[in-house]
Structure 1
Amino acid sequence: MGYNSLKKSLFLLLMTAGFSSYSQQDLKLQYNQPAVEWTEALPVGNGTLGAMVFGRVDAELIQLNEATLWSGGPVQKNVNPDAFKNLALIREALTNENFEKAYDLTKNMQGAYSESFMPLGDLILTQDFDGKKPGLYKRSLDIQTGLAVTTFTIGGVKYQREIFASAPAQCIVIKLSADQIKKLSVVIDAASLLRNEKSIQNQSLVLKGKAPSHADPNYIGYNKEPIVYDDVTGCRGMRFELIIKPVIKDGEISYDGDKIIIKKASEILLFVSAATSFNGFDKCPDSQGKDEHQFAESPLKKAAVQKYDSLLKEHIADFQQFFNRVSLKLNEKETNKSNLPTDTRLEQYAKGEKDAGLEALFFQYGRYLLISSSRTHNTPANLQGIWNNKLRAPWSSNYTTNINLQMNYWPVESGSLSELFFPLDEFIKNVSVTGAETAKSFYHAKGWVLHHNSDIWATTNPVGDFGKGDPMWANWYMGANWLSRHLWEHYQYTGDTAYLKKVYPIIKGAAEFSLDWLQRDKNGYLVTMPSTSPENKYFYDGKKGGVVTTASTMDIGIIKDLFENTIEASKVLNTDLEFRQTVSQAADKLLPFQIGSKGQLQEWYKDFEDEDPHHRHTSHLYALHPANLISPLKTPELAEAAKKTLELRGDDGTGWSLAWKVNMWARLLDGNHAYRLFKNQLRLTKDNDPEYSRHGGCYPNLFDAHPPFQIDGNFAGTAGVIEMLMQSQNNEIHLLPALPDSWTDGEIKGISAKGNFTVGIKWNYGKMSQAKIRSNMGGKCSVRALSPFIIKKLNIKSEKSSIGYTAVFETQKGMTYTLTPLK
């Protein structure tokens, strides 16, 4: 875990950036009944350990995860030696527009499936209340402190359970208490879906096990044994260990086999720790693995001798140093509904009742989840963050790199959580290593490549089980390029040239692969072939369905963006002039964006009809968001085409798809349309309930619903709110660029802009009343707003522009500049 490095980086940030901390209220999820479904339970996490708290009375269930617990082992090299033989044949077929043949041949260029994120186990706390029903029941999660609390009354006794996942203590801490002495009698047990052995050691419950050597994705059904434990290589299947240590006040402890029995205690503290033998993406988890027992036991020894209040205080201080940087208030004159249960609020919201407080809660929940799931070296938040209760989770709960992994980290910079980027940063370095081997063995190309699925082992080959997968999703080649944008953006937000120098070879490597991958078409343009537009199909020759094509618009947009960022990075570093010129020349020859017969931005090389006009992916609008090659300011004609594309796609979709569209409509400066999609993100969805399971939205615990649960929608929704209130592409800070009419009054503080600025904005009656911009490193600042404004102290007045008003001024490091409307 990266806690010590985070402390160091936080200290440096405090010294250099001086962010402010903002107090907030009413940031709780709360319910009047226990969770029945997993998507009703409440998540806590410290970046490595995750727990889902059900709040059950008689048999409390706390489902556990450990971020590094995955099936499998290091990836093998040259897994498909015959792959390259097909490449020229595919390109010939595409040149002849034999799309069916190209599709069949592309299957021959697939490798092994990625591995799966595994559940750790369950902690079960059983209390015998003789069948008595509880009263005054309540469970809650305070996302400003990371503390989950369950309270209820039985037989005149008030019981309370508190749980938090501490990063400083590196364990989960649970406190059971009652308002009368010696009323706590509990049986403590643990279970796991993985192969394991339980025992009592040193007055603790210990569960040891080993992960599978392989787990098929949940959508594969042709293998008799989808979960395999046998390891013929001796290098697959990591060990793991879970330890639960009780410390009690009053009462007595005894043991029944591998269960802990506590009777008549006045207070019980449970310390939960876990670790795996994972020792890096390229290390055998068994023979070269870490000592999981030492890593699990060490934190418990330290935590168990501390007082609960001290542990809680330390945890809250650590958590709030991230969380409290940003605050959001919306329509505070509205009726405050924070006293209502969250599921009730969602039901009322679905019926059209206003609840700006719920919208602000959902925004901050994304930041809460990122803080809770992105603090482990080499292990970024996966498709479900760090929370998973299934052996074969949806899509393996892996790293899906054709949108979903990237989406997880959209708010990390703008949401002022830049230090929490390091797990993705390290993961990108890992896949650049394995991706170089894949580029060489599959394509005989320089640089590195990443396809659409990866895992903790940095898998980069095109998955599909050597021809059984559909190229529609398996054979997509732009993952390295897209992830390289995150490296560049981290520099843009921090201004850290030393960092940029360190990661420039990775960005360059992605560009090198793209240079080798590009082919010249009959018109002299550089194009990609083969190419796909993730998970979508087109019609050709009437109603023939096509997948593999030449130069999907997404490919071209991603490569244009990569080349532009590579050129800028080399300029900043004053290096690599010859390569810069090569990239620049190639960029000039890339196929231009094309506008189709409906006025839309074409998704395909030709103006094909989509098989699904309302497809969840809007991949061809990558150039609009997350890139900024298309914008109303720079390219108004293409921006109109992007708008038409979104209109044709429609306003429905899966949870994460809705979130992407929020960001896109915000980039088009249409706040009302962005807000419409954002509201759809809050449509109540329930597992095993036909009335509430037919659409994307969110679950009762505010988890994003594809359905099923995918956490990327939570993170992208948070980023989308920031995009509505502030954008910082085009080398400027755009204040309230897409403010929806529904948010008449509000204030946001502490968000981050490129150039290392911290921004706060206040508005009334739909117009900015004040903005504050803090310069954390000095330099030029360009600001845009809808109405004229003046920069106090400097007495600089804005000037009319094609869109709103702008002002440019030099800043000094550490200074805050106040902007007010010009009357």
Structure 2
Amino acid sequence: MGVIQPKAIFFSLAITVLSLSGQTAWASPLLWFNSPASDWEQEGMPIGNGAMGAVIFGGVEQEVLQLNEKTLWEGGPGSKQGYDYGVPPKGDQVAALRKVQKTLAEQSSMTPEAAAELMGRDIKGYGNYQNFGELEIDIAGRGEVSDYRRELDLARGIATVSYRRGGVNYTREYFYSYPDQVLVAHLSADQADAISVNVVLDIPENRSATFTRKDGLLTVVGALKDNGLIYEGQVVLRAKGAKVSSGNRDNSLAVKNASSVTLLFSAATNYRQQYPDYRGDHPHRRLNQTVTKARAKTLAQIHDAHIQDYQALFGRVSLDIGQAEPELSTPELLAHYGKGGAATDRALEALYFQFGRYLLISSSRAGSLPANLQGVWNHSNTPPWNADYHVNINLQMNYWPALVTNLAETTEPLYDFVDSLVAPGRVSAKKLVGAEGWTLFLNTNIYGFTGVIAWPTAFWQPESAAWLMQHYYEHYLFTGDETFLAERAYPIMKEAARFWLDALVEDQGALVVSPSFSPEHGDFTVAAAMSQQIVTELLRNTRAAAQQLGDQAFALRLEAALAKLDPGLRIGGWGQLQEWREDVDEKDNQHRHVSQLYALHPGRVISPAQTPKLAEAAKVTLNARGDGGTGWSQAWKINFWARLLDGDRAHKVLGEQFKRSTLPNLWDNHPPFQIDGNFGATAGMAEMLLQSHTGHVTLLPALPSAWPEGRVTGLRARGDLTVDIAWQEGALTEAVLLAGRSGNYALLNNGYQIKSSDSGRPLNTRLEDGVLRFTLDAGKRYRVTLKEPKPAL
């Protein structure tokens, strides 16, 4: 007989805090289900460590763990279909561009189909992100099943399946460790010798696969048939109270009558993020070192390292908006939204906010590729939109919550990826546009695709690189890291700006983008609003960086261009912000793209206080477009309304996101599943509570009436500032400011006073145009309160 094990080797602390409303708040956010998943997309439970991911089904007789390794892609160099990075090796593509520009100069517009016939092209070898395979765990057992529960603890990054069967309580726990780069599955029971499993590693047929088994280690090595990319996966099975044996197939391992079983898995490929070959060494040596090190550790050591690493990120931000721990499962909570009372509605909202942060941590960590259209999770070898990187909003939206919700470390993969696109992007700039510098268009893969495709309404977006540059500059604004600005951000921003200095054309006395296309909407034209706004932002940000770093010559070039550049901001005949240079917007058009509002968000140009007429025009546009749309579109609208300081409307759109575009497991539903909506909505909720894009910090700028009392900790503002905020009856009760570096700061004045938290002494402030200006010392905390607290009712 083996040693009797406790129900689980890990434990959750039942942590509760008293909310400002007096209710018990839900301090450990959980997604939970009362049955196994029957559908990957709607009910699967995701875990990940950036480079790898898994979706847990939680079956009783058979557990299925669907696996992903983010570099496992078909296509690219070596593809049997051929590959040219989206750029024709022969032919004069610039001539096609010039022909389109001439047509637009003469006729002002042309259909997307006509433009694509000239400038688009059929591509080969683009590839798809691949499903690595599945771990199938057949579990012996008899008797009726009761007390089933499947949950994902966001505070710990650990998933759990528990149930009672045949008088035995069974527990399985799963997590993906970033420090040890392994998936961990631990199966335990409250009776000895109760666990018998057969573990099968199932690999799809579109690749070769050779399996070996030795001493509890199952290894698979193979290559994708399309491009020869080499992959390897290793499964370790160890048991307490029993011996691990070979299973009944060459891809399986087995254990009988164990007291507990632990499974480790890791995978790698020979992909290397470097143009033009994108190939490195065989993954075996690197993977074997990873697995060998993890195998030498105890389960507790791997678990503790995971908890320490994960909570160092996730635990920075807490949100209490009056939620109480719900008695409903997550699918029921979603289905009851708007029907079950304020506390349960707040529970879903707070859970969704933290789920977005969890997904970003789980799908984007240093050393991996950035989060793609599905983060890291994909169960198909032909996924929607290739599960690639769309750069006309989707990749950018994935990282909207990173800085403001205190997850700056998750942006490293984005910068690595974009840096790797510069070399092929130079080729695209020269061959497709005839310009220096670098750019890319609407979509890209992990193999440096920077060219164009044939899809008429989704192939031409040369402003994509300029939009991506916003993230580099925002990183500097949030962190104040001048080394990052000088060594990483400015060089790539300068080269992206150089492209536009060559690519802009003069029309009606102004510099404009031609051809220009408002994403997926209307005709090709000259100077669509979004195109002009993005390019203007790039040149302004690059000019500011050049001035900061002393590159005066380039700053003057940008200054001259900006003086002639059309900014793309026009108010139309019915009060709307125009989508195109011509006033042709239709009042009843509810297209999901509202691209003409880029300058409102994520741009920093339009605000109610500083540009009231443009802000009012943005409201008119949003009211005309309506609150519907796909998942990412609704998420964007949350941010728009927050920037317009309308918290109730932002909250309404958040509710629409739940009702129309959220799956039972809280994944965003485009449809199908597309993760950008999760990230965009989380960013929008943060934007409702804290803003800093106008040059000063605003506390509770768009607080909805549905959140009359609450507290948020750990949000970040531009200027390297960490902010905690508490409020009651819709008004601030206290905020705490923590400066990461000494310097000058500004806060929108709403009758505030600022004192040192250490000494209690008032801070010297000066009031200018409704804004308090003051100096903070690095590492010290400062308390913001109302000078005259709101009287009790």
Considering the TM-score relative to the shorter chain, is it more than 0.5?
Answer: yes
The alpha-carbon deviation at position 630 of structure 1 amounts to 1.1
The alpha-carbon deviation at position 631 of structure 1 amounts to 1.1
| 1:410 and 1:716 in contact (8 A); partners too | yes
- 1:394 maps to what in 2? 384
- Pair 1:443-2:433 in alignment: yes
Q: How does 1:372-391 map to 2 (within 5 A)?
A: 372-377=362-367, 379-391=369-381
Q: Distance in 2 between matches of 1:265 and 1:352?
A: 44
1:394 maps to a residue whose letter is: P
- Pair 1:76-2:62 in alignment: no
- 1:675 maps to what in 2? 651
Q: Once structures 1 and 2 are overlaid, which stretch shifts more, 246-255 or 624-633?
A: 246-255
- Please point out which of 666, 673, 682 is paired with 1:709: 673
1:461 maps to a residue whose letter is: G
- Pair 1:619-2:586 in alignment: no
Sort the Cα spacing of 1:283 and 1:275 in 2 relative to 1 into closer, same or farther, 3 A. farther
- 1:200 maps to what in 2? 212
- Please point out which of 306, 309, 323 is paired with 2:314: 323
Q: Distance in 2 between matches of 1:786 and 1:395?
A: 47
For the residue of structure 2 that corresponds to 1:446, the secondary structure is coil
The alpha-carbon deviation at position 378 of structure 1 amounts to 5.7
For the residue of structure 2 that corresponds to 1:485, the secondary structure is helix
The alpha-carbon deviation at position 448 of structure 1 amounts to 0.8
Q: Once structures 1 and 2 are overlaid, which stretch shifts more, 159-168 or 302-311?
A: 302-311
- Pair 1:89-2:99 in alignment: yes
Identity between Structure 1 and Structure 2 (%)? 39
Q: How does 1:707-786 map to 2 (within 5 A)?
A: 707-786=671-750
Sort the Cα spacing of 1:767 and 1:105 in 2 relative to 1 into closer, same or farther, 3 A. closer
- 2:775 maps to what in 1? 810
Q: Distance in 2 between matches of 1:292 and 1:339?
A: 46
- Please point out which of 318, 324, 337 is paired with 1:349: 337
- Please point out which of 749, 762, 772 is paired with 1:795: 762
Q: Deviations over 1:62-98 (max 9, x none)?
A: 1000111111224636425321111221111101116
Q: Deviations over 1:202-226 (max 9, x none)?
A: 23222333235xxxxxxxxxxxxxx
- Pair 1:368-2:368 in alignment: no
TM-score (norm 1): 0.87
Q: Distance in 2 between matches of 1:559 and 1:283?
A: 28
Q: How does 1:4-403 map to 2 (within 5 A)?
A: 25-38=27-40, 39-74=42-77, 76=84, 78-79=87-88, 81-97=91-107, 99-100=109-110, 103-111=113-121, 112=123, 114-130=126-142, 132-193=143-204, 194-202=206-214, 203-211=216-224, 229=226, 236-255=227-246, 256-258=248-250, 259-282=252-275, 284=277, 288-332=279-323, 336-351=324-339, 353-354=341-342, 355-377=345-367, 379-403=369-393
| 1:209 and 1:240 in contact (8 A); partners too | yes
Structure 1 stretches (4+) deviating beyond 6 angstroms? 797-802
Q: Distance in 1 between matches of 2:339 and 2:96?
A: 55
Unaligned runs of 5+ in 2: 1-24, 78-82, 789-793
- 1:225 maps to what in 2? none
Q: Distance in 2 between matches of 1:773 and 1:102?
A: 50
2:30 maps to a residue whose letter is: K
| 1:378 and 1:456 in contact (8 A); partners too | no
Q: Once structures 1 and 2 are overlaid, which stretch shifts more, 73-82 or 314-323?
A: 73-82
| 1:451 and 1:479 in contact (8 A); partners too | yes
1:117 maps to a residue whose letter is: Y
The alpha-carbon deviation at position 673 of structure 1 amounts to 0.5
The alpha-carbon deviation at position 241 of structure 1 amounts to 1.2
The alpha-carbon deviation at position 801 of structure 1 amounts to 7.5
Sort the Cα spacing of 1:507 and 1:579 in 2 relative to 1 into closer, same or farther, 3 A. same
| 2:150 and 2:159 in contact (8 A); partners too | yes
The alpha-carbon deviation at position 109 of structure 1 amounts to 2.1
Q: Distance in 2 between matches of 1:62 and 1:794?
A: 57
Q: Distance in 1 between matches of 2:173 and 2:368?
A: 30
- 1:651 maps to what in 2? 627
How many pairs are equivalent? 743
The alpha-carbon deviation at position 294 of structure 1 amounts to 2.0
The alpha-carbon deviation at position 376 of structure 1 amounts to 4.4
Q: Distance in 1 between matches of 2:361 and 2:151?
A: 18
The alpha-carbon deviation at position 587 of structure 1 amounts to 1.2
- Pair 1:515-2:515 in alignment: no
TM-score (norm 2): 0.91
2:62 maps to a residue whose letter is: A
Q: Distance in 2 between matches of 1:352 and 1:99?
A: 51
Q: Distance in 2 between matches of 1:588 and 1:645?
A: 27
- 2:15 maps to what in 1? none
The alpha-carbon deviation at position 729 of structure 1 amounts to 0.9
For the residue of structure 2 that corresponds to 1:189, the secondary structure is strand
| 2:51 and 2:367 in contact (8 A); partners too | no
The alpha-carbon deviation at position 791 of structure 1 amounts to 4.0
Q: Distance in 2 between matches of 1:107 and 1:815?
A: 61
Q: Distance in 2 between matches of 1:701 and 1:432?
A: 37
| 1:83 and 1:110 in contact (8 A); partners too | no
For the residue of structure 2 that corresponds to 1:96, the secondary structure is helix
| 1:449 and 1:478 in contact (8 A); partners too | yes
| 1:199 and 1:207 in contact (8 A); partners too | yes
Q: How does 1:395-794 map to 2 (within 5 A)?
A: 395-464=385-454, 469-470=455-456, 472-502=457-487, 503-521=489-507, 523-537=508-522, 547-575=523-551, 577-592=552-567, 593-609=569-585, 613-683=589-659, 695=660, 697-791=661-755, 793=760
For the residue of structure 2 that corresponds to 1:474, the secondary structure is coil
| 1:72 and 1:237 in contact (8 A); partners too | no
The alpha-carbon deviation at position 374 of structure 1 amounts to 0.6
| 2:588 and 2:624 in contact (8 A); partners too | no
Sort the Cα spacing of 1:641 and 1:60 in 2 relative to 1 into closer, same or farther, 3 A. same
Sort the Cα spacing of 1:662 and 1:49 in 2 relative to 1 into closer, same or farther, 3 A. same
| 1:450 and 1:460 in contact (8 A); partners too | yes
For the residue of structure 1 that corresponds to 2:309, the secondary structure is helix
Q: Once structures 1 and 2 are overlaid, which stretch shifts more, 762-771 or 91-100?
A: 91-100
The alpha-carbon deviation at position 797 of structure 1 amounts to 8.1
- 1:686 maps to what in 2? none
Q: Distance in 1 between matches of 2:739 and 2:56?
A: 41
RMSD: 2.0
For the residue of structure 1 that corresponds to 2:337, the secondary structure is helix
The alpha-carbon deviation at position 446 of structure 1 amounts to 0.9
For the residue of structure 2 that corresponds to 1:349, the secondary structure is coil
| 1:788 and 1:800 in contact (8 A); partners too | no
- Please point out which of 771, 787, 792 is paired with 1:822: 787
| 2:111 and 2:524 in contact (8 A); partners too | no
The alpha-carbon deviation at position 800 of structure 1 amounts to 7.6
Q: Distance in 1 between matches of 2:49 and 2:139?
A: 27
Q: Distance in 1 between matches of 2:548 and 2:761?
A: 29
Q: Once structures 1 and 2 are overlaid, which stretch shifts more, 771-780 or 783-792?
A: 783-792
Q: Distance in 2 between matches of 1:634 and 1:514?
A: 28
Q: Distance in 2 between matches of 1:507 and 1:581?
A: 15
Q: Deviations over 1:671-692 (max 9, x none)?
A: 1111111112222xxxxxxxxx
Q: Distance in 1 between matches of 2:327 and 2:473?
A: 43
- 1:218 maps to what in 2? none
For the residue of structure 2 that corresponds to 1:562, the secondary structure is helix
Q: Distance in 2 between matches of 1:93 and 1:794?
A: 68
For the residue of structure 1 that corresponds to 2:421, the secondary structure is helix
The alpha-carbon deviation at position 442 of structure 1 amounts to 1.0
| 1:119 and 1:390 in contact (8 A); partners too | yes
Q: Distance in 1 between matches of 2:210 and 2:723?
A: 52
| 1:759 and 1:774 in contact (8 A); partners too | yes
For the residue of structure 2 that corresponds to 1:641, the secondary structure is helix
Sort the Cα spacing of 1:196 and 1:153 in 2 relative to 1 into closer, same or farther, 3 A. farther
